[in-house]
Each structure stands twice: as structure tokens, then as C-alpha cells.
Structure 1
């Protein structure tokens, strides 16, 4: 396969006409050739990605991209024929969080301000760009809601070609629940397609003829102390009647379901489930006529295969929404492709992988199949986009997401597993300093938020590439998935109930000691870090096991389990149902505990109540506007530590929420962290 480099230079040159604003954000204005990763400053590691979320129009003529502009991620379009770039947004206040092509002439996009510690965008508005008229139009502004706002949650399918129509999930009849509409972006008119909806709908699945066929309904909690159920309904193509086919509990303690999509016969449904007592969710075929499950398509020995924790998705011939299902893709320790026999899609994928053997490669085809936009990543490659000509078999690089991130300087990321003290398998990613002997290294354990999420994946090149950064500074970095992390089966999940600060904390300790026993880590130089729940676990480690950890950096951290349940101005409290108490008086009591019934447990496992036990220094950083973990958590921990005479670096970033987005604050956080760990983990 021929490999050319000219297109990359042309696209980079096209971007050169844009206002260069990296310097305004405090980052160096020019890319520098660094001799080692240790030379790369904080302001480069944690600046906005140079280019991200590239997507190609269905006709293969235009590429949309999000680029750093005015200190934010803004949207540009690149004409592939002329290599000219057009600025679509230039906001200094909000980022473009995502974009989606509607045919060849319209681009739907949403804006956001920052990301919380769990990685969720906080959306601020939705818009669309009309290419022919060179105009952006507002659909909704969440800060200034007004009559006539159009609440589009997502584009489910586009009509295709030059059509301005798309099938959308939209809140037209209700502020809480969405229906499926056929929406015309040119006229802004819509047609309701789910008038006979089951109601309380939280998700939809269309068949390959763009007919709404599966509805996900959130049931009303019957009473306090009982789970909230989610039901899946099916409608036959020639019927208006919806029939319930699956049901699952909010406690996640029984059979779970995740609908992946229809095959092109519009009868066979692919469903991820742990039915019949399976520990992990596997993919099955389901016959929507007989209402029976068929063959198991694929199962993984370690991971649940579903859309939430492993990003499972069907691979279709041609890559469009109506093609025959020919494979399955999901994230295991590394991204996995499972092929169902031979297909043109498989052949094309193998051709691309043969040309790019050192990376994980995904691609999207143009409607005529003549071009593919390829995205390649790995643990050391932060991401590079290519244009593949399927006829000429030429692969042309377009642009690298981070030009400064030379893969030769980056550290390898290994997936490891060990047995916790009670025999439970626990997994995580270990990143070691490049060019350094893996022996008696200082350790930082990075603990994810949630905690009931899958926190880490093979390629960790988001806004915060923490593992690479701290490895470049000489630390072994362990990103752990302690019990309770989703994606590792029911047993792994259920064993975390009421174990905040208990066996969940044991898993963290056991991960550190596993590396000590392997000779990789120096037991006398181990530290904790994390945000949200990870911030809690870092504080809990310092209060529960003060002789094991030298120090901890906690961000937007829970410090008191009672406050987590009872603070009335948190978003979880505000969203509570008055009749049944919502999450905090139901699932929270099962998963974490109850401040009254489990008062003794909360006393033992709330770091702010045990600050006197702390021996090493703590760096605690909060956001002034955090509604998930309000500032009172930081203030209570601060006051307790200072009263006990402990060493504390405490800082509150103004106008930040549950996670930080402003460059000035992100850079400051990691500059502080670099100095903090260098001081406390030195020999």
C-alpha cells in the first residue's frame, strides 16, 4: 500500500490561516521537538488537543474538526478539494462538545462548558450550521431558555445525501422524556413518529428502515426502599402496539439488558445481557417475532460487552445505518473487533490494519465507499487521522491530534491483573517511566470517580493524559478498577455494596502491594490521587492507612459520607423524587449506606471525621460551583486537618464545578501536583 505525506502538510497549512490562540491560553505557540517526555511542560501536556473529533461528510468532500481557538475547542470545516479551512465557531466561553453530519449540507453541534470528574459534558446549547447559506442557527440555549427552543437530545439517523432531514430524539411533548421525530433542519419543522409511545421514554432504537421499533421506558419507583425499573418495549413494523420484552432493576443486581441494534432483516435484534445467571454481559441474537433469544454471538472472559462500559457497537457492511451486521467492536484491555465470517468490511479493515500495525484503527466510509476517514491511536500514539482511498489503496495522513506528543518519547501502558486478598480478580493499567528500570519506583495510584463506572481504557489521551504526564516525571502510575467499577461483571459490582472505604479500599492497597512484591515499586514512596470518588478514596487512604501512603492529591473529593447523602443543595438531592426519596434514599442506601442506620460505619469511613489519623501531606482542590460534591466537603476536610495540625495545600478554583475546564486552573492544578509529588515522594 502506497503511503504519502503531502496531505498532512496541506491540512496543517490550511489550519495556519486560523487565529492562533494557544498562547492566549498560556501554552507555547509553537510545537517544539522535545528530547524526552520529561522536558514537556505542564502547559503542553494539558492544553486543549490540537485537533479532535474529525468527521467526514457522507459525500466525502468536507471534514469537520474541533480545534483550539480562543482558548476553547471550536468548530471548523475543511474542504478536501481546496484544502481551505472555514471557522464555524470562535467562542471564548464554550467548547464545541460534539458534532454530527446531517446529510452533506448540515452539521448539528452542541456546546458545553467543561467536564466533570466522571467525564460528562455539561451541555450549554445546541445548534446547526447550514453550509449553503454559511450560517449557524440556534436550536436551544440552556442558559437562556425561551419559548420555541427545540430540545434535540441526539441525531439517531440522517436521511442521507443532500437531505436536510434526520430522525432525532427530541423533547417536544415533555421536558423530561424524548420522542422520535423526523426533523427538517432547513424548515425547522418536525413530524412526530412515536405518538403511541409507551411513555417515560429514555431511549429509542430504529430499524434499518428508520422506523422506531424499540423504546426504553423508566418506570415510576413503586415505593421507597424499592428499585426503579427500566423496561424495554418492542413494536412490530406494521403495528402501533408496544409490547414489553425486557425489564431490569436500577440496583443492577439481576439480569441486565442493552440493545445494540437491528440486523438488516429488521427482525433480528442484537442484545447484550447477562441472562441465565451469567456473571458478565454477552451479546445474543433476539428474534423480535418469536420473542426468544437465539445464539450467543460473543462473550469476553473479563469484560461486560455493552454500550456503557465497553462502548460495544455493531459493525455493518458499508458502514451505514442500514447495512448488514458483519461484526462487533468493543473495548476490552484493548479495542477488539469480532467478525461474523468474511465481508468487504472485514477485508478493508484488515488492509488498513496491515498498513498501520502499531495502532488501533477505526474508520468511517463515505456514502459511495470511495473514501474512509481513519483514526489511529495507541497507548503511545495520541491520535492521527488518515484519508484512505479504497480504489487506489493509498493512505494519506491528515493531521496528528497532538503534534508535540512524539510516540517515541511516550510510555507503554500495560494491562495488569492480580488477586485481591479475598480472591477477587482486580484489573488496571500500569504505566512505567520510559527508559527507566522497572525497579523500586515511586508509585502514584490514580483512582477514578463514580465509582460505578469503568474509569480507564487502553488509550487514555483525553484532555487529561495524567498517566503519561506522571510517568514522564519518573513515577509508576497505576490506574486501578477496584470492585464496584462497572464492566467487570455482576460479582465484581455487587461486592462493592456498602464498601466505600472498606474492601474497595483494600483493592487499592492490594494493587500497590502487588507492585511492591513484583519489585517494581518502592513501598516507602507510594501516593494516592483521584477526583470525586477517587478523591474520597485518596483521603480515606490517608486516614485509614496512614503508614502505607506518603501523601495524596484529592480533587472535588467527597470527605463525609453523611454530607454526601444529606446536603440538600447537591444536584443528586435536587433531583430526588419527593414521594420516594430518589437515588439518595434508595440506591445510595444499598450501595453506600444510610447516615442513620449505618451511623457507625459512616463515622469510621468518613475522612473528615478521622483527620487526626493523617500523617503525610494532603493536597485538596475543590470547585466553587460544584453541585455534585458541594464545597462544604472541602471546607469540612480543610478545617479538620488544620485543627489537627496536619500539612495541607488547599485551593478552591472559582467558577469551576465537578472537574475543571479553564486552562489557567488546569495548568495550575498540575503544576501544583508536579511540585507536590516531587517533594513528598523524593528519596
Structure 2
């Protein structure tokens, strides 16, 4: 039995959702579209290093997000950080008394953004405010700031996303260097005093660094550099500060190399990811003296590449967070095992992820809880009292009684591969349903995992089954599946999506006359190619931000800027997608733009004017070509949006259009 099948069975058997009568009553009315696609009302919280204080983002639909701190001893809440023209972005604890944070704007889409995030610091009681880095070349200060006229760090200063030592007023920050054309060159690592704003030192680079890894003491110990098509892993000796190369691999294909770094343990052990004669990546320890992997992996997930993190206290490895069908935790510490068991007993039908303060001195831990029918909630658990306290819910307007069940299933391809897919079925029905085949973007990523998904749940709430197939080229399921997708855009990758669709028909889930294919980015490309190659399988299609021609990815458009790096075009795309010269005929045969006249089914298209990943000409050129022979094509353009929809109003508008489009084309009773 797959993990998700067990989780789903538990959810169905439990009383967590209330009685069947309640579920039936809730199902009479459709949940509002805004409840799916508004910004989350609560996104995150973070315990201080000791666990005595809790940092939270405070906000609502009609006001700017602020940074608040809760004293868990007294339950006193204080707003400590806010902007007049922006929202709190990222934030992190410097130590138990001080925080750093950035600015963002939840009301602006990429096309209207004019500022970098900047960098700021403040004490947990609201004192000691200091601006550390500029926003777009000019200081940005809230009222009451003590900023003087001194020079700030440049706008391209960013947080590392790593905790560091958290025992002083210093942090390491990234200074990203860009070319005059806007392409990323390398990242410098700076040691910054968050009280006076001065850089204490910078770390020497062995090359063009693009990733840094701090050790458990918060010191830079490893970096990844890139030179054309090659990435190199370098280790910094703590005594001499000299760099030593450990391994290298192909930067864009991932081929070669002994390992990829994961984390340093409290005792200095380097944990890495390696295949080591396996199809999937596993967690090993790496001996820095001998340059060898351990004989046996610490973590091996059957059928899955390791994706997750190591959970550590100040002095030992407590457990491993990992993704299989769903996220889960394997605890090595007996106390944490017992705590997990207690929390799971209190929340029996959800995935419950425990987050432990790095230098805990209190009984408090954070619990993130979710299920397929329930969006994420964040709670505090007190291990002494055994009580759970709700901190916030991402989408409190969502009624679990109205949500659908999701399962992870397997399907067979025509050439014998076994591939995973997510399947979400509307309440009360599981046969002969109208089906939406939702193809993930990337394509070199993992698609679905078990949990609540706004798009799939929205479609299911309108009566549609939703199939989210992985396909060759997807990551997370081993190298064989990933490599099988190279140079297969529009070919075997497309066949996999069709085979998944036919699996749903053969199982009696899908009505073969009411199937629509959909997706964004690469998923948009697959939507168009699906309509072209399998006109009898798909009644309609809707796509947004979709690639319409591979050569256009290479060549671009003189008037629209692309953020695709030139090195990726030179070293990555020819291997992964196709060489413009050697594979010229294949790229023509797999171009939706050159075959637009073959699409006769109804089609809905959406693009962002400010998209730099798939610039607007992908959409406008295809729309111009297809509408000449197909009267059933709808077009929407969001001028301020980039690659996908950031603003709730645009998400709501888009999915409202999708609802009408589907109802018109496959929603009617056959």
C-alpha cells in the first residue's frame, strides 16, 4: 500500500471531518473561488534559537504585513517591523534578541516591481532598528528610523537562507554580482554586523561561487563554483582557510561527480547526497580526510531521490525530514519519536511536521499540519503540558468538508516504465467523470505530492477529476526516469502524459469524451502538443505562460527580455532539450507554433506581459497563428504579471475563466 493510500484511508476512517451529514451539507454549495486563490492569511512562524520567542508575520487582506514577536512566557505580542509602502518579506533570527528582515510588496506583480528587497534589522522589543542594504539604489526607511547618512550595502544584498551561529550580532549575507546585461556572475559572502551595519570581513572565493554552505557553527565551510559547463565543490579548511576541491559535475545536466553537499553536523560531519551505484540519491556521510563516502547510506528511500533536510539540535542529529509520496520525518532521537507519536495521536489524520529550535531551552516546538483536504496550519506544542495552540492557518476560509481526496497512483507507459501521478477525485463520485489532465512545468522538477493543492482542489470542487502525471524527465524518482526525458519534448514525454490519460480511461475514472489537458510553462507546451498529437484524446485545452517554440527559447525576441542564461542555452539546452543545428528537424516537428493549424479543439491561453522566463511573443505569435484556423480560442493577457500569476485578483480572474471554459466544453452531462 502506498503511503498516500494509508493516509487517505486514515482520513476517511476518522472523525476529523465530522459526520457524513456535515460533509453532505457542506457539499451542497460550491466553495468560493477566492477561498482557493487569495494570498494565504498566514504563511509562517519561526521560534527564536532558545525557543522563548516566536516571530510571526502579522497581516490581513487590507493592510501591510508586519513582523511581530510573541513572548511565549507571557503571551505578549509586539509588532516590531513594518513599512509604509511595503510588506515584510523574509525574516530570520540573528540571535535570541535580534532579527533581520527584507521588504516585499504583495500588491505588486513583477512588471510593476521597482525595488529590491533591501535588508533591515531590529530587536525583538522594537528597538535598535537599522537599515543594512538599499532598495534599488536608494535608502528606504520607515518613520522613526535612526539611519544616518552612512553608506548602505548595495541593493543586491540578500539573506543566505541559513541560520548561522545565532550567538552574536553577526550574520553572513550574500552580495550577488551581475553583468551589465543583468546575468548573474557570482556571489560574495560577507560577514555583517547587524547592529552597526558594518561588514567585518568577506570570504575569499576559489572561483565564481553560486552557493555557500555554513557549518553548524555558522561559519562558511563549503562553496559551489561554476566555470562554463562545470560545477565544482570546494571545502574550506577551518584551520588554514584554504580551499580544496572535493568533486565536480556537469552544471546543467547534473552528470558526474561523487556527491552533492547537504549539511554539516554538530560534530563537523559532512552529509551529502550520492547515487553510489543506485538509481536514486541517498544520504551518506563523507570523510573529508579520505575523500570517501561511508560504506552504507544513512537514508535510503525506496524509489525516491532524497529530498528534505537534516534536523539537528546544538549537539546532535535528531532526525531526517524527507519526501516520498508526502513529507515525513524519521526520528533518530527517542524523545522526538515519543513527541511525534503524541502529536500524531492528537492530530490523527494529518501530516504533522515538528520544527525544533536549534538551541532549545524551553518545551515549545512548532508543528506544521496538513492533509489533502486541509491546507497548512501552524501550531505551538508544549511538551510539558501536552497542549497544542493554533498560531495560524493558511486558508481558514477552506472548509475541509468541501474538499476532495487526493491519492498518489502509478501508471504504465507504452514502453514499460512505471510512473507516479497525483489523482484528485471530486466528492461523491469516482467513475465516468470529466477529467482535467494537469501537466506540471519545469520540466526537470517533481510535480505533485500528497497534500492540499489549490488548483486541483478548486477543479475538484467544480466536479472534475484531476490527474497530475509525472513523466520522463521529471525529477525525484531516480536517474533512469530523469535521463529518459532528455531530448523528448513533444515525443516520449508527451506519450507519457497520453498514457496516463488512457490509464484514467481504462480505470473507468474518466469519461473519454470529456477530457481537457492543461498546464503552465512546460505544462503549457505539453498542453499544445497534446492537442496536436492526440486530437481524439483531448476535447479541449487551457494553458498559461506556455512555451510555444523551442527555437524561440534559444533566439528570443529583440523587444522582450529573457532571463534564460546564455550558458544554459550553450551547455544545458542542447543536451536536455535539443541542439538547434544537430536536432533542427526534431525541433521543427515538436514546435507547437509551426503546427498551430492542427489544433481544432477549444483553447484558452493566458500570458503575462512582464514574463521574462517565457516572454510574451511565445503567446502572441501562437495566438496569431492558431486563430486563423480555429475560432474557439480565448486569449487573456495580464500586463503586470510575469511567469505565473502573483496577484490574487489575476488568479481569481484566470480560474474564473477556466471554470466557464470547462463548463462549456466538458462540464455538461454526456
TM-score (norm 2): 0.86
What's the CA shift string for 1:409-434, capped at 9, x where partnerless? 21111011111111112112111002
Question: 1:114/1:480 Cα in 2 relative to 1: closer, same or farther (>3 Å)?
Answer: farther
1:448 and 2:449 equivalent?
no
Aligned equivalents of 2:192, 2:136: Cα separation in 1: 23
Aligned equivalents of 2:607, 2:367: Cα separation in 1: 39
Aligned equivalent of 1:673: 658
Please point out which of 453, 459, 470 is paired with 1:481: 470
Aligned equivalent of 2:513: 524
- The answer on whether the counterparts of 1:232 and 1:245 sit within 8 Å (CA) in structure 2 is yes
Aligned equivalents of 1:36, 1:87: Cα separation in 2: 42
Question: 1:37/1:632 Cα in 2 relative to 1: closer, same or farther (>3 Å)?
Answer: farther
Aligned equivalents of 1:575, 1:115: Cα separation in 2: 28
Cα distance, 1:393 vs structure 2: 2.1
Question: 1:122/1:296 Cα in 2 relative to 1: closer, same or farther (>3 Å)?
Answer: farther
Structure 1 counterpart SS, 2:221:
strand
Which deviates more, 134-143 or 552-561?
134-143
- The answer on whether the counterparts of 1:204 and 1:214 sit within 8 Å (CA) in structure 2 is yes
1:235 and 2:228 equivalent?
no
Aligned equivalent of 1:296: 297
Please point out which of 91, 105, 124 is paired with 1:99: 91
1:363 and 2:354 equivalent?
yes
Question: 1:478/1:134 Cα in 2 relative to 1: closer, same or farther (>3 Å)?
Answer: farther
- The answer on whether the counterparts of 2:81 and 2:88 sit within 8 Å (CA) in structure 1 is no
Aligned equivalent of 1:549: 538
Question: 1:430/1:259 Cα in 2 relative to 1: closer, same or farther (>3 Å)?
Answer: same
- The answer on whether the counterparts of 1:115 and 1:660 sit within 8 Å (CA) in structure 2 is no
Mapping 1:215-254, distance limit 5 Å = 215-218=223-226, 220-221=227-228, 228-250=229-251, 251-254=253-256
Question: 1:154/1:573 Cα in 2 relative to 1: closer, same or farther (>3 Å)?
Answer: closer
Please point out which of 463, 484, 490 is paired with 1:495: 484
Question: 1:217/1:123 Cα in 2 relative to 1: closer, same or farther (>3 Å)?
Answer: farther
Please point out which of 101, 117, 141 is paired with 1:109: 101
Cα distance, 1:72 vs structure 2: 7.6
Mapping 1:189-200, distance limit 5 Å = 189-192=198-201, 194-195=203-204, 197-200=205-208
What's the CA shift string for 1:367-423, capped at 9, x where partnerless? 303211221112112122222112222222233222222223211110111111111
- The answer on whether the counterparts of 2:271 and 2:283 sit within 8 Å (CA) in structure 1 is yes
Structure 2 counterpart SS, 1:39:
coil
Cα distance, 1:590 vs structure 2: 1.4
Aligned equivalent of 2:274: 273
Question: 1:259/1:72 Cα in 2 relative to 1: closer, same or farther (>3 Å)?
Answer: farther
Question: 1:659/1:145 Cα in 2 relative to 1: closer, same or farther (>3 Å)?
Answer: farther
Question: 1:562/1:181 Cα in 2 relative to 1: closer, same or farther (>3 Å)?
Answer: closer
Aligned equivalents of 1:656, 1:508: Cα separation in 2: 28
Aligned equivalent of 1:57: 48
Which deviates more, 386-395 or 520-529?
386-395
Question: 1:386/1:47 Cα in 2 relative to 1: closer, same or farther (>3 Å)?
Answer: same
Which deviates more, 349-358 or 531-540?
349-358
Cα distance, 1:135 vs structure 2: 6.9
Aligned equivalent of 1:30: none
- The answer on whether the counterparts of 1:117 and 1:659 sit within 8 Å (CA) in structure 2 is no
How many residues were matched structurally?
618
Structure 2 counterpart SS, 1:635:
helix
Structure 2 counterpart SS, 1:542:
helix
Cα distance, 1:212 vs structure 2: 2.3
Question: 1:333/1:214 Cα in 2 relative to 1: closer, same or farther (>3 Å)?
Answer: same
1:535 and 2:540 equivalent?
no
Question: 1:157/1:83 Cα in 2 relative to 1: closer, same or farther (>3 Å)?
Answer: closer
Aligned equivalent of 1:10: none
Aligned equivalent of 1:514: 503
Aligned equivalent of 1:160: 166
Question: 1:89/1:176 Cα in 2 relative to 1: closer, same or farther (>3 Å)?
Answer: farther
Structure 1 counterpart SS, 2:578:
coil
What's the CA shift string for 1:111-143, capped at 9, x where partnerless? 44679999xx99831332413445764444554
Cα distance, 1:657 vs structure 2: 0.9
Structure 2 counterpart SS, 1:451:
coil
Please point out which of 397, 400, 406 is paired with 1:404: 397
Structure 1 counterpart SS, 2:116:
strand
What's the CA shift string for 1:571-594, capped at 9, x where partnerless? 556742xxxxx2113311111113
Please point out which of 318, 333, 336 is paired with 2:328: 336
Aligned equivalent of 1:504: 493
Mapping 1:459-474, distance limit 5 Å = 459-461=451-453, 465-474=454-463
Aligned equivalents of 1:542, 1:298: Cα separation in 2: 42
- The answer on whether the counterparts of 1:480 and 1:508 sit within 8 Å (CA) in structure 2 is yes
Aligned equivalents of 1:619, 1:399: Cα separation in 2: 36
Aligned equivalents of 1:547, 1:122: Cα separation in 2: 47
Aligned equivalents of 2:298, 2:109: Cα separation in 1: 34
Aligned equivalent of 1:149: 153
Cα distance, 1:604 vs structure 2: 1.8
Cα distance, 1:173 vs structure 2: 12
- The answer on whether the counterparts of 1:206 and 1:214 sit within 8 Å (CA) in structure 2 is yes
Question: 1:543/1:112 Cα in 2 relative to 1: closer, same or farther (>3 Å)?
Answer: farther
Aligned equivalent of 1:589: 574
Unmatched 5+ stretches in structure 2? 1-23, 140-150
Question: 1:544/1:111 Cα in 2 relative to 1: closer, same or farther (>3 Å)?
Answer: farther
RMSD between superposed Cα atoms in Å: 2.9
- The answer on whether the counterparts of 2:52 and 2:361 sit within 8 Å (CA) in structure 1 is no
- The answer on whether the counterparts of 2:88 and 2:103 sit within 8 Å (CA) in structure 1 is yes
Aligned equivalents of 1:421, 1:112: Cα separation in 2: 47
Aligned equivalent of 1:203: 211
Question: 1:510/1:110 Cα in 2 relative to 1: closer, same or farther (>3 Å)?
Answer: farther
1:350 and 2:341 equivalent?
yes
Question: 1:420/1:37 Cα in 2 relative to 1: closer, same or farther (>3 Å)?
Answer: farther
Aligned equivalents of 1:558, 1:348: Cα separation in 2: 47
TM-score (norm 1): 0.84
Cα distance, 1:658 vs structure 2: 0.9
Structure 2 counterpart SS, 1:157:
coil
Aligned equivalents of 1:544, 1:112: Cα separation in 2: 43
Aligned equivalents of 2:431, 2:109: Cα separation in 1: 32
Aligned equivalents of 2:583, 2:386: Cα separation in 1: 64
Aligned equivalents of 2:160, 2:53: Cα separation in 1: 22
Aligned equivalents of 2:444, 2:477: Cα separation in 1: 11
Cα distance, 1:234 vs structure 2: 1.6
Question: 1:620/1:67 Cα in 2 relative to 1: closer, same or farther (>3 Å)?
Answer: farther
Aligned equivalents of 2:341, 2:55: Cα separation in 1: 26
Which deviates more, 169-178 or 365-374?
169-178
Aligned equivalents of 1:105, 1:535: Cα separation in 2: 47
Aligned equivalent of 1:282: 282
Question: 1:405/1:640 Cα in 2 relative to 1: closer, same or farther (>3 Å)?
Answer: same
Aligned equivalents of 1:644, 1:164: Cα separation in 2: 65
- The answer on whether the counterparts of 1:431 and 1:477 sit within 8 Å (CA) in structure 2 is yes
